[in-house]
Every structure is written in C-alpha cells, then in structure tokens.
Amino acid sequence: MSASLPPPSSETIVVEELRVLDRRRLRRLLLLAFALAAVLVLLAPLTATDQADSLGVPQLVDRSQIRILTTVAMFVVMASAWNLVGGLTGYSSFGNVAFFGLGAYTCAVAVDAHRLHLPMAVAIALAPLVPAAFAALVGLPLLRLRGHYFAIATLGTAVAVGEVVKNIDYLGGATGLFPPILHRADLLFLYLMVGAALLAVLVSRLILRSRFGYGLIAIRENEEAAGVIGVNTTAYKVGAFAVAAALTGLAGGVFALWNSFINQELGFSLDFNIQMILMAVLGGAGTLFGPVLGAVALELLIQNLAGRSDVAVYAQIGLGLLLAVTVIFLPRGIVAFFGGGSRLSLTHLRRSLRETSV
Amino acid sequence: MMGGSTRFTGVVGLAAVLALACGGAAGGGTAATTTGEDLVIGAPMSLTGSQSKEGALAKQGYDMWLQWINQQGGINVKSVKHKVQLKYEDDTSKPDISAQLAQKLITEEKAQFLLGPYGSATTASDAVVAEKNSIPMVEGNGAAQAIFNQGYKYVFGVLSPANVYLTGVLDMAATLKPKPATVAMLAADDNFSQEVAKAVLDYAPSKGFQVVYSDKYPNGSTNLSGLVANAKARNADIVLNSGHLQEAIAIHKAAKDLKLDAKLSAYSVGPSTPDFIVALGKDANYVLDGSQWTPQVKSTASFYLASQDYVAAYKKQFNTQDDPDYHVAESTAACLALQKAIENAGSLKPDKVRDALAALNVSTFFGQIRFDSRGINTFKPMVVEQIQDGKHHTVWPANVADAAPQYPTPSWSGR
Amino acid sequence: MQLFVQQVVLGLLIGGVYVAVAIGFSLVWGILNIVNLAHGALVIVGAYLTWLLFARARVDPFIALPIVAVVLFAFGYALQRALINRVIRAPLFFTLLLTFGVNLVIVNALLVIFKSDFRSVTPSYSGSGFGVAGVQVPYIRLAALGVAGLVAAAVGWLLNRTRTGAAIQAVGADRDAARLVGIDLRHVYALTFAVAAACAGVAGGLISTIQAITPTAGEPYTLQAFVVVVLGGLGRVGATVVGGLVFGLVETLGQTMVPGLGAGWANAIAFAILVLVLIVRPQGLMGRIA
C-alpha cells in the first residue's frame, strides 16, 4: 500500500536533524515560558494577603479570581488523574466523578462536629484513601470489561454511588453536609488545591517514566500481547485505577472543605464528570501536560462565559461542536501542536480523517 | 412644676411638628434629602437551566421592587437616597457556578448586598459565600431548614421554612366532615421535598391521621404509577406530594389512569403555577397546594403596596392576566426586608444592616417578616389554596380564605 | 393480590415503552458498534414533533407517529452520513464523545426553540381505560405497548426478510468482508442509523402522551436503553423485547413491592443490576456474546 521512497540523501538527513533539534529547542522554550507564567500566576495571589498590604504591594488578584484559580487547579488534578486510566491505559472511565464524591464526603464526614470530628489535616489525609479502596474493590470486576461496557459500567457505578449516598442519613441524605466555614482561608485552599495539582502532575510524570507506565501503555496498545510478555495486566490496571481514584478523591476532599457545602448533586456532578474527560482529551490524552493544558484552557473558557444568560445555551451548543471538532479533527489534542507531534495542515487533517472514517 | 407654660410649649411644639410634616408632605417629602451613590445589589439567579421557570418568577419579584424603589428615588439612608442597581448573573441552576458568581458579584461588580438565588442547593452554596465575605444575603426562594441550622450570621430567609409547607393542609383536613382518616405521602428525594415530607409524617398522627403509605422517588422521575397504585391499594383518603411541577402532573395523571379516588389531593409545588392547569385542564380541579402567599391573604402593608395593588402592578408590569404566584411575592418580600433593614440601620455598612435584619419586625403584603434566631421567618403562616373551576382560591386559614374548600373530591368516574 | 397484578400490568405497559426506546439503540450498537449517547435526544425530538403536530395541527399523536418516523429517518441518515461515519474507525471512545457532543447540540437547540417549558400531549381519551377485576388498564399505555410491538416486528422483518436487512446484518457481522462483496458501507451505515432514529422518534411520540416533556427529558432514556440492551442481550430484536419488558417489570415491582426498599433506590437498583449483569453475564439474558 505504501510506495517505496528513494533513500534520503545526506543533505536531507542533516536538514531533518536540524529540524528535530529546532523543534526540541522550541519545545523547551515553550515549556520554560509556560512554567514562568504559571509561577507568576501562582505567586500573584500572595499580593492579596495582609502582609502584602502592609508592605505596600498592590493587590494583583481579587477573591473572585482566586476562586477561579482554585477551580482550575481542581480540574488539573481531575483531568490528570483521568488521564492515567483513560489516556495511558486506554480504559475510558466515564465514572471518575464517583471518586471525587467519595473523597468529598469522606472529608466532610471527617470534620463534621456531629460525626467524626477530626482535625482538617487528618480529614484531607483520609480523602484519597476511601476512593482508592473503593476503586481497588470495584476495579477488579469492572476492569474485566472493555470499551463501551467499561465506559457505561463506570458511569452506572458513579450514578449508583451518588444515589446510595443520597439515601443515607449519616452522609447527610438529600440535604448534604456543611463542613464548617473557615474565614480568611482563600489562599490556604488555593495552595492546597495547587499542591494537589502539582502532586498529580508529579505522579503522572513518575508513572510515565516508570516500568509501571510502560506496562500501562502496553495494555493500551495490545492487552493480550502485554499479558504475554509478562505484564500483570490486572494488577497494573487496578493500580492505575486506584491512583487515579486517590488523586481525584483528594481534589474532592479539598473541594468539600473549601465550598463548606457538599451534596449529591455537587459531589457526583455529571458536569464535572464529562468536563474532566473533555479536558484530558482536548489537551491530549496520554501525554503529561495535555490534561493540564486542557484543564486550564477549558475551565477559563467556562468561567469567562459563566453568568451570561444570553450566552448560556449557545455556550453549550459550542461545547458540543467543540467536542465534535476535537474528536474528528484533533484526536491527539492541543498539546500535539507543541512539540512537533503533528501540524495544523490540510494534508495532515485529511490523512487523519481517512484513517478514522468508513 | 407642670403648669400652663409647659402645656403651652407642648402645644406650640406639636403645632410646629405638624406644620413641618404638612409642609414636608406637600413638598413631596424630599425637602431635606439628597441623592447619593447608587447602591449595587447582586443576585445570582437561575435564568437558564433546570430551574429556569422558577428563576424567571423570582426575577419578576425582584424586578417589581426594583422598578418601584427607583421610582421613589432610591433607598432612603438618613435622608440620602440611593438608587438601586440590581445586577443579575445566570447560574444556570448549578450550585457551584452560583457560588462563583456570588463571589464575582461581590468582588468585581461591587455588590454591597446579595439577594438569594432560586432553590435550596444554590442558596446553600451562596450562603457560604455571603458568610465568608460578611455580606448580608436576603433570600426568598430556599426553604430548606438545614441552611439555617448552620449558625450563619449573614443569611436571612423571608419565607416560611419547608417543614410547614403541607402541615396547613392537615390542619384544614382535620376540620372537614366527614374527617378523612388516612394519608399517603409521596416525596421527591431532594432535600426540600424530604423536609416537607418528614414534617408531614411527624405531624399527621397528632391530628388524628394514619399514614398508610409513604415513599420517596428519585428527583425528576416520570414513572410514578407504581407508587400511585400502592397509595390506592391502601385506601389513602388524602394524597400528598412534595416534589416538583412535572412530578405533580405525573402523579395526578396516574391517579386518573388508575382511578385513585382520593378525597383530598395536595401537592407542595405545581398547582400554584399556571402550567399545572394548562397541562391538566379540568382534571386540575379540586387539587390543593400549600402556598407562601396568595392574593387573597389579608395582610397589613406598613410600606410598599398592599396585596391587591401588588397584583394589579404585576399584571401591568408584565402585561399578563395571570396573578403573581408565590415565588414572585416571596422574592419581592426579600427585597422589602433588605430595604427596611437598610433604612432602619441608617447605614449601608454590611454589619449594621445585618444587625438591623436580625432585629427586623415589619408587616408587608406578604405577611409578617421577622426572623428567628437562625435567620428564617417562622412568624408568617402558610396558606392553603385550591383550584376550583380552573381558578385559584384561598381556602385556609379561615380568616384569610376567600372560598370554602370543595370537599370531598368527586370520584374520577363521577366527573 | 390485586395490587400485585396491577403492578405487573403497569410494569409490562411501561416495559413496552422501554422496548420502543431500546430497539433503535440496540440496532446501532449491534451493527455499527456505536453506543449512541444522543439517543435520548432523538427520542425527545420525536416527542416534540408529535407535540407540535398535536398542538398546532390537531393531529392525533398515534396518527402523527408515521410522520415523525419519516422525519427522524431523514435526520438520522444525514447525521450518520455527514458526521458519525467519520469516526467509525477511530477508537470507540471517540464515538462516545462525538455522540455526547451531538447530544449537547440537539438538546440545547431544542432549548432555544422550545424553551424549557413542559409540554404534554393530552388527547381526549387520555385517562380513560378499562378495568378488569379492579385492575386498571389505561388505553394510551395499552396502545403504546401495541405500537412498540409493531415497531419491534417491523424491525425484525426488515432485518430478516429483506435484502437491505441482509446487507445490514452482513455489515454488522464483518464490515470489511461486506465491503468486499460490494456493499456500500457508508450508505448501509447511514441507513441503519436512520432506521434507529426513526424508532427513537416513534418512541418519543409515545412518551409524549405519557409524560410531560422538556428538552432535557431524554437523558434518562439513553441510560435506560443501555440497561435494557445489556439485560436482554445485544443482537436480536427478540432479546431487546425481553430486556425491555423485564426492565419495566423489575423497575415497577422493585420500586413498590419490596418492603424496606423505597422508590428512592430506583436508580441505584437499576445501575446495580446493570453492573452485575455486565460482570456476571455480559451477553445478557438472551443474547450471544457481543
């Protein structure tokens, strides 16, 4: 099917090598630029503290923007976590929000004065554990399913867990739980969430470069072959699932404390569910920074459009179209453009379309 | 020693005051007021999304007050009038978005006070933001008591809490002859509906009713025939539902399908809206609901419009023949409470207004507005309405009713 | 005892609606290997079309059904041919995302056109029915069951007794082999989706007579269709019929007849069943291994 090309001349090889070097340098520069921007953005909220005031430093970000940043960080955690299961391992879970909710409720129950009444730090430490245990438990049977079955089974699990939680009075029932309000704690929660985001990226990086990560990718590419060459597919899959659950649960726990209110609708929000998947895919599933990019881009977009009733319905239509376009034309996500993976050229688009169409 | 001179001074003093008052009134009452800066009030509201219909009604309530107060020149704070700018943000009926928008309204749009959103979950989320920013929030559309059990200091609800929504129906039923004996309670599983249901289950036995069937269904269910069949099999005389419009319609249709001949049917949400009658036509007759307010409720308006004037103003402002339903009225009441508190405090400082709210005790077209120590209005009673011949009538309590309850409801085959 | 029979009757009647909803979904999944997350949206489009014809042109809903079927057929054909055909060979997950995007667009377009008001179709005979030994059987629901049966029979006839049906089944069995024998894949795919959309539209028409509709009312039906197909088994029309009726029965009886378990657990039960079946017997009650 492929015509054989003439062997490359020496000049072509040199030019190609130079191009590769340039691309790598470009990629490094871009990474540096993003890192710098991120550091500035993350330090800026410190200008809102009293100490900054007394030093005469002008306030660069207000409370509303700090809130937005916290939300963005939350989605970075969730998208990166989803990426571990959906992007690396190839098991697209449509139910990760279950872990968010479990983490949130764990934290809320832990700090509640009428329930466990534990200190906040302990509650946050518990937040990843319960979802991880749950993931290990249900992961064993669920991860035996593939493709559509796995997707819908995880969706069903998330909905079912939400419904069960709603029916249990100890967990607040239909009313929900109200973790006590912490005053003047905006920055605390921002940096907690950012910390979780950094943790998520760090964990992803560690996994990507480890044997565990290669095993997951092998499972994604060809699970039978992976098993044959000695990868313990069950252990690896469940492991990835549990790690993703822990990270997502951590985000949920911090959210519950920050929001001072959690109920089934918030904790098991189908909106959050689809958003974390979208962000990972839009950004670039299977890559390290793809989910980060996707989370930042999409969440900022959502926040910018929020509040305007004339736009609301059209924003949703736009989201649907964005999905369609991403899936058809941009299957590798935005991050593929940074780093020479693919180029925005007509031939390239045509080729990728031909690969996926009937 | 009290004598003629003191009395003379008293008379002169009184005359002077009277003269000033007349002069002031003749001059339009603004003899000594100036205009100050606009007052910005923020309102996150469900303009789109699952609660958009109710959100639209709440917005109407806010807009009615807005138009009126600005016609008066604004809120009077120690003789300085401040016109009101009411800034809305659409939270698309999502609690997390509502909280973000509440913060945005405070921080970026400089709202000095907040009016509540629609619905208990959104109100709960926004309450946290109000509390964290020490900005008073007055709401009229989130009746779940849980919000008010958290010890918040800056959140006030002008409406009667969820637990009294349907107890009035039971009070009324207890006076009817022959007295119905059994109750069935079908409730949606959201927190507001559950609070309503729990109150009914606790209250019914004390009024001599036996609860023969009680169940909850997932919020938004459309297939409720099974539950209705159960209620019929247990011979429920009174069928109660706390849920939402769509479910009320589904239950009523199922009752007709299955020939459930209840002597009384009361739904907490639904019958008060025009949509209910539009959807069910003649089948909607005889249905009762618990309401925060009806146009017939006799109340004393110490300021703002009286009930009948309110109804007329509503029809004029929104160009409609429909009466305002209670969602509109309770929203206007929230605005009135905030206004009165600001006037009483004589200040726009959040803490002073908050204290004035806590001490507020005023009667309006909506009824008495006064907050208990938790911040919710337990001083205003609920009323019961019934749809009779396609029109709403207030049937309970007797001192505000404009019609007698039609009881018992004739059987389906007999209509 | 009478209550039990009443609940069984109600369960079967609502099961008929579930069958109608699930037939199209099962077809698309079985032949195209697509789980169509926009299926509920197509159902609701059918419901709105029925309502439009009823409210504006006074067409009886049951008479409107063929019209709705034709319109949805055309719409489904276009949708598949223009859009979904482009990702058939992509990882499964992308088709899920694409259909989810389509769902968003359709539902929100409906919101723009119809707003979120609830509409219902109430012909003069709604609410009436007949009673047998105290058990009520409403006419509309009985008719819905009948129509569902007709739809199932029609699809079964199409698949098993026509050349088009044979082509569809061939494509479902082995896409590349089908192409080698000269079957136009793009056309057959679009045709299959079109038939499924038509079925969804008819189901929507039935639903509009039973409950109030609003643009977002289709979401639960997608998930329910999934449960029905998983319960019954992917593959044959008969399996879907069994799945739908069983699901209707389980839902109604489970909600109301099991002491201690209220209707509040309905969704949790449905999904627990779903997950259990998927794990224990993935081919469903009647299907072959999918």
* Contact at CB, B101 and A306, closer than 8 angstroms: yes
Bridge partners of residue C135, in order along the sequence? C132
Domain extent listing, chain C: 2-216
Spans of chain A below 70 pLDDT:
1-4, 15, 17-18, 20-21, 337-345
- Determine the distance in angstroms separating the CA of A33 from the nearest CA of chain C, rounded to an integer: 32
Between CA C118 and CA B280 the distance in angstroms is 12
Neighboring chain A residues of B47 at a CB cutoff of 8 Å: 309, 312
Q: Are strands B391-396 and C129-132 parallel, antiparallel or unpaired?
A: unpaired
pLDDT category of residue B18 using cuts at 50, 70 and 90? very low
How far CA B367 is from CA of B119, B293, C14, in Å, comes to 21, 8, 46
Count, in order, helices (H) and strands (E) of chain B: 12, 17
- Determine the distance in angstroms separating the CA of C110 from the nearest CA of chain B, rounded to an integer: 13
Neighboring chain A residues of B108 at a CB cutoff of 8 Å: 62, 64
Between CA A41 and CA C274 the distance in angstroms is 45
> Closest chain B residue to C268 measured between Cα atoms?
B218
C5 and chain A in contact, CB less than 8 A: no
Whether the CB-CB separation of B129 and B96 falls below 8 Å is answered with no
How far CA B262 is from CA of B201, B239, B329, C40, C95, in Å, comes to 18, 6, 31, 35, 50
C131 and chain B in contact, CB less than 8 A: yes
Span B54-102, pLDDT tens digits: 899 999 999 999 999 999 999 999 999 999 999 999 999 999 999 999 9
Span B197-215, pLDDT tens digits: 999 999 999 999 999 999 9
How far CA B107 is from CA of A304, B103, B218, in Å, comes to 15, 6, 37
Q: What beta strand segments (E) does chain A contain? A: none
CB burial of C127-140 (b: ≥16 within 10 Å; e: otherwise) equals bebeeeeebbbbeb
Q: Tell me: pLDDT of B296 over 90.
A: no
Mutate: best of B133, B189, B374, partner A, most A CBs <10 A: B189
> Closest chain A residue to B125 measured between Cα atoms?
A261
Q: What one-character-per-residue DSSP string does B84-123 give?
A: EEEEEEE-TT-HHHHHHHHHHHHHTS--SEEE--SSHHHH
Q: What's the confidence (pLDDT) of residue B25?
A: 44
Residue with tokens 């309670």: B185
Q: What's the confidence (pLDDT) of residue B2?
A: 44
Q: Tell me: pLDDT of B264 over 80.
A: yes
Q: What's the confidence (pLDDT) of residue C155?
A: 94
Helix/strand/coil (H, E, C) string of C227-244?
A: HHHHHHCCCCHHHHHHHH
Max alpha carbon distance in chain C (Å)?
A: 60
Of the candidates A277, A287, A324, the residue with the CA atom closest to the CA atom of residue A95: A277
Neighboring chain C residues of B56 at a CB cutoff of 8 Å: none
- Determine the distance in angstroms separating the CA of B158 from the nearest CA of chain C, rounded to an integer: 28
C-alpha atoms less than 13 angstroms from C-alpha of A86 in its C-beta half-sphere: 34
DSSP annotation of B321 reads: S
Between CA B250 and CA C207 the distance in angstroms is 12
Q: Are strands B361-364 and B367-370 parallel, antiparallel or unpaired?
A: antiparallel
Neighboring chain C residues of A274 at a CB cutoff of 8 Å: 100
Nearest CB partner across the interface for B132, out of A64, A167, A181:
A181
Report helix, strand or coil for B368: strand
Whether the CB-CB separation of C240 and C22 falls below 8 Å is answered with yes
Q: Lowest mean pLDDT of A16-20, B346-350, C49-53, name the range.
A: A16-20
* Contact at CB, B132 and A183, closer than 8 angstroms: yes
- Determine the distance in angstroms separating the CA of C96 from the nearest CA of chain B, rounded to an integer: 24
Between CA B83 and CA C39 the distance in angstroms is 51
pLDDT averaged over every residue in chain B: 89
Residue with tokens 């006590």: A180
- Determine the distance in angstroms separating the CA of A51 from the nearest CA of chain B, rounded to an integer: 19
From edge to edge, which strands make up the β-sheet containing B210-217? B210-217, B182-188, B238-242, B264-267, B287-291, B383-388, B391-396
Q: What's the confidence (pLDDT) of residue B27?
A: 42
B146 and chain A in contact, CB less than 8 A: yes
pLDDT category of residue B13 using cuts at 50, 70 and 90? very low
Q: A7 or C150: whose pLDDT is higher? A: C150
Neighboring chain B residues of C216 at a CB cutoff of 8 Å: 50
Interface predicted TM-score (ipTM): 0.87
Name residues whose C-beta falls within 8 Å of residue C211's C-beta, 6 or more positions apart in sequence.
Answer: B222, B223, B246, B250, C120, C217
Name residues whose C-beta falls within 8 Å of residue C1's C-beta, 6 or more positions apart in sequence.
Answer: none
- Find the mean pLDDT for residues B264-272: 90
Q: Tell me: pLDDT of B29 over 50.
A: no
Span C72-94, pLDDT tens digits: 999 999 999 999 898 888 888 88
* Residues counted in chain A: 358
Of the candidates A154, A28, C122, C176, the residue with the CA atom closest to the CA atom of residue B281: C122
- Find the mean pLDDT for residues C45-49: 97
Whether the CB-CB separation of A247 and A80 falls below 8 Å is answered with yes
> Closest chain B residue to C216 measured between Cα atoms?
B50
C189 and chain A in contact, CB less than 8 A: yes
Neighboring chain A residues of B218 at a CB cutoff of 8 Å: 163
pLDDT category of residue B15 using cuts at 50, 70 and 90? very low
Q: Tell me: pLDDT of B17 over 60.
A: no
Mutate: best of B93, B214, B257, partner C, most C CBs <10 A: B257
In one letter, which amino acid is B194?
Q
Report helix, strand or coil for B78: coil
Tokens describing residue B145: 């008591």
* Contact at CB, C279 and A86, closer than 8 angstroms: no
Tokens describing residue C235: 């593959």
Neighboring chain A residues of C102 at a CB cutoff of 8 Å: 320, 324
Q: What's the confidence (pLDDT) of residue C287?
A: 64
- pTM score: 0.89
Find chains touching chain A: ≥3 CB pairs under 8 Å: B, C
Neighboring chain C residues of A319 at a CB cutoff of 8 Å: 101, 104
Report the run of H or E that residue B287 belongs to, with start and end: strand B287-291
- Determine the distance in angstroms separating the CA of C285 from the nearest CA of chain A, rounded to an integer: 16
Task: Report CA Rg, chain A.
Answer: 22
C268 and chain A in contact, CB less than 8 A: yes
How would you class A329 by CB atoms within 10 Å of its CB: exposed for 0-12, middle for 13-18, buried for 19 or more? middle
Neighboring chain A residues of C90 at a CB cutoff of 8 Å: 327, 331, 355-356
Q: Tell me: pLDDT of B9 over 80.
A: no
Nearest CB partner across the interface for A313, out of C111, C272, C274:
C111
Mutate: best of C39, C80, C81, C97, partner A, most A CBs <10 A: C97
Span C190-238, pLDDT tens digits: 999 999 999 999 999 999 998 888 898 888 898 889 889 988 888 788 9
DSSP annotation of B410 reads: P
Q: What one-character-per-residue DSSP string does chain C give?
A: -HHHHHHHHHHHHHHHHHHHHHHHHHHIIIII----TTHHHHHHHHHHHHHHHHHHH---HHHHHHHHHHHHHHHHHHHHHHTGGGGTTS-HHHHHHHHHHHHHHHHHHHHHHHTT--B----TTTT-EEEETTEEEEHHHHHHHHHHHHHHHHHHHHHHHSHHHHHHHHHHH-HHHHHHTT--HHHHHHHHHHHHHHHHHHHHHHHHHHS-B-GGGGHHHHHHHHHHHHHH-SS-HHHHHHHHHHHHHHHHHHHHHSTT--GGGHHHHHHHHHHHHHHH-TTTTTPPP-
How far CA C68 is from CA of A220, B408, C49, in Å, comes to 43, 43, 6
Q: What's the confidence (pLDDT) of residue A344?
A: 62
B195 and chain A in contact, CB less than 8 A: yes
Nearest CB partner across the interface for A324, out of C102, C111, C274:
C102
Q: What's the confidence (pLDDT) of residue C102?
A: 94
DSSP annotation of B415 reads: -
> Closest chain B residue to A184 measured between Cα atoms?
B132
* Contact at CB, A175 and B47, closer than 8 angstroms: no
Span B363-398, pLDDT tens digits: 999 999 999 999 999 999 889 999 999 988 999 988
Whether the CB-CB separation of A333 and A283 falls below 8 Å is answered with yes
Whether the CB-CB separation of B156 and B127 falls below 8 Å is answered with no
Between CA B125 and CA B94 the distance in angstroms is 10
Nearest CB partner across the interface for A175, out of B100, B125, B191:
B191
Q: What one-character-per-residue DSSP string does A1-21 give?
A: -PPPPPPPPHHHHHHHHHHHH
Q: What's the confidence (pLDDT) of residue A277?
A: 93
Whether the CB-CB separation of A157 and A97 falls below 8 Å is answered with no
- Find the mean pLDDT for residues B9-29: 46
